[in-house]
Amino acid sequence: MPAKVVGEEKVKKSPSFVKPWLGLKYLFKKPVTIKIPEEKIEPAPKYRGFHTLDWKKCVGCNFCGQICPARAIEMTWIEVDGKMEKRPHPKIDYGRCTFCQFCVDVCPTGALGFIESYILTTTGDEEELQLYDWVPIHPDKFKEIQDQYRDWRFPVEKIEVNEETREVTYYLRNGETFKFKIVGYGIRPPKPPTKPAPKKEEKKDSKQ
Amino acid sequence: MFGTFLKALLIILYATFVGFMFMGIIRKVTARIHRRIGPPIYQPIIDTIKFLSKKENITHGIIYDFGIIFALGATILALMFIPLGSISIMRAYGDLILITFLLEIPMLGIMFAAMSSGNPYAGIGAQRALLTLLAIQVPLGFAIVALAEFYGTFSTYEIVMAQQTSGWSIFHLPLLLAAIAYDIVLQAMFGKEPFDIMIAPGEISLGPMVEFGGKHMGILQIQHAMGLFAETLFFSNIFLGGAVITTFSSPILNTLATLAVLLVKQLAVLLIAIFVSTIFPRFTIDQAAKFYWKWPTIIAALGAILASL
């Protein structure tokens, strides 16, 4: 069967000096503009924004790290209140993340999720750039902050990393702080939690 | 002497301010036609202040600096000759040919500066601008001839006074034809869309303006604002009857009313230019030259012939 082709005389228009003037018809219409600082737009529900992580559900399988097309996910060993988590948790680098949310689809336990917030702006300062590299917080917490402000911004104002003690502090927007320790990276656990911490870290670093 | 100087300064200040407002109006109306809100009307003033306060200035030699001053000076000189209602400095010498000539000088000044920068884009832009300049001469000349033929004088002020008694120029058929031709030419003199060949944003990256920045660009903005004012003022003087209002007893009120009437007429000229520029795409340079030597020339020549009959 031959392809159906519309005749040229049906699609070709003759040039006109009068018709362009119809373009002026919007002169007195209301502009279709959203004045962003004054007006707000709601992102679609399930808009692919930042990640959330339920730390109790995460089993550290590293499926997310394997599927991530940008390799933005690194497994991190975390110590909260002096107790190390049994499994590593993903740390996401938003400098690389493409927000494809494959990691959320592949997560077998549903620990990794995402939320509609999508705005994260910083200056170029080294301190502020820490914001782009985080272990996501619990979905309920994130939801609470998002509902409180509804400006779709990153829920953490500042991330403070102490290089010596490897202690990380999240200063959330609603004034709360959230502290934990990063004791190691990778899938294999850092050497059994013994007292001399700095030595052990150096060893592990050299192994990777 | 001092009074004349003060008057000249006032005219320059008024022309600059109104010219910047015109630039703002251009941006605002264009935005409305695109269904946007657009910048505030005083935006060009802010832009110019920013340009003038830049720390770094690149210069390519004396001609590069001089060309811009030359353009600004020519515009100011043209402004002095055009009658602004009852106030003007040298309206007695405000010759049609002289003013038309002076209104085209700025383009030459910008050309000097652009060519001396040695940028190939500026070179192409200059070439296109000179061709545009060449193309608009023919209809422009015929329009001027038609006016001079009809009123029997070259003096702009006398033409304005003659229109006080015999009605606006555009109500006479030969001069209406000349006005139409002149209005098409005005589009190229403003550097507006169908004939903005010399600047051509997006085609040759800004043409002659490509190398300007900082204070040079700021002065060029001021020149553009004054040029807009001068060109619209000249058009409304010779075709829309100018304005010399003597209804009030107080001279100050008369002057203010004159300025207001002139402003309305200038705005009308400007709005037509904006409308045409928003709805028609840019011509290529050969199309523009062909166009100017065809339709506006025929119309203006017809007007000139009718006027001399």
B36 contacts in A (CB within 8 Å)?
31, 33
Tell me if A67 sits within 8 A of A94, measured CB to CB: no
Tell me the chain B residues in contact with residue A23 when contact means C-beta distances shorter than 8 Å. 33, 278-279
Closest Cβ opposite residue A23 in set B29, B36, B279: B279
pLDDT of residue A200: 47
Residue in chain B nearest A30 by alpha carbon: B35
Mean local confidence (pLDDT), A177-203:
69
For chain A, the domains span: 51-185
Inter-CA distances, B180 with A52, A73, B101, B149, B269, Å: 67, 68, 19, 17, 11
B33, A26: Cβ pair inside 8 Å? yes
Q: Measured between CB atoms, does B272 come within 8 Å of chain A?
A: no
- The string of pLDDT tens digits covering residues B51-75 is 999 888 788 888 888 888 999 999 9
- Which residues neighbour B26 within 8 Å (Cβ) at sequence distance 6 or greater? B270, B274
Q: How far is CA B244 from CA A87, A89, B256, in A?
A: 89, 83, 11
pLDDT band at B131 (very low <50, low <70, confident <90, very high): confident
The CA distance from B177 to the nearest CA of chain A, in Å, is: 18
Q: Give the dihedral sign, CA B90/B95/B96/B102.
A: negative
CA dist A151 and A117 (Å) reads 8
Query: Which residue, B213, B182, B197, is CA-closest to B280?
Result: B197
DSSP characters over chain A = -PPP---HHHH-----SSGGGGGGGGTTSPP----TTTS--PPPTT----EEE-TTT-----HHHHH-TT--EEEEEEEETTEE-SS-EEEEETTT-----HHHHH-TTS-EEE-S--B----S-HHHHGGGEE----HHHHHHHHHHH-S-B-SEEEEEEETTTTEEEEEETTS-EEEEEEEEESSSPPS---S-HHHHHHHHHHH-
Would you list which residues of chain A are within 8 Å, Cβ to Cβ, of chain B?
20-21, 23-24, 26-29, 31-33, 35
Distance CA A70, CA A86 (A): 26
Cβ-based contacts of A31 with chain B (< 8 Å)? 31-32, 35-37
Burial class (CB in 10 A: 0-12, 13-18, 19+), A102: middle
What ipTM score was computed for the predicted complex, to two decimals? 0.74
Is A31's pLDDT higher than 50?
yes
pTM: 0.82
Q: What are phi and psi of A91, to 5 degrees?
A: -110, 130
Neighbour-count burial of B103, counting CB atoms closer than 10 A to its CB (0-12 exposed, 13-18 middle, 19+ buried)? buried
pLDDT at B170: 82
**Averaged over A102-110, what is the pLDDT?**
91
Cα Rg, chain A, nearest whole Å:
25
Lowest mean pLDDT of A36-50, A120-134, B125-139, B232-246, name the range: B232-246
Q: Right CATH number for A51-185 from 3.30.70.20, 3.40.930.10, 3.40.50.2300, 3.80.10.10?
A: 3.30.70.20
Instruction: Write the single-letter amino acid at B2.
Output: F
Q: Residue B95: helix, strand or coil by DSSP?
A: strand
Tell whether the model's pLDDT for residue A15 goes beyond 70.
yes
- Quick check: B35 contacting A, CB < 8 Å? yes
Single-letter amino acid code for the residue at B168 = W
Are the beta carbons of A36 and B37 closer than 8 angstroms? Answer: no
**Nearest-by-CA chain B residue for A23:** B279
Of A23, A24, A31, the CB nearest to B36: A31
Cβ-defined contact of B279 to A20 (cutoff 8 Å): yes
- Give the per-residue pLDDT at B18: 92
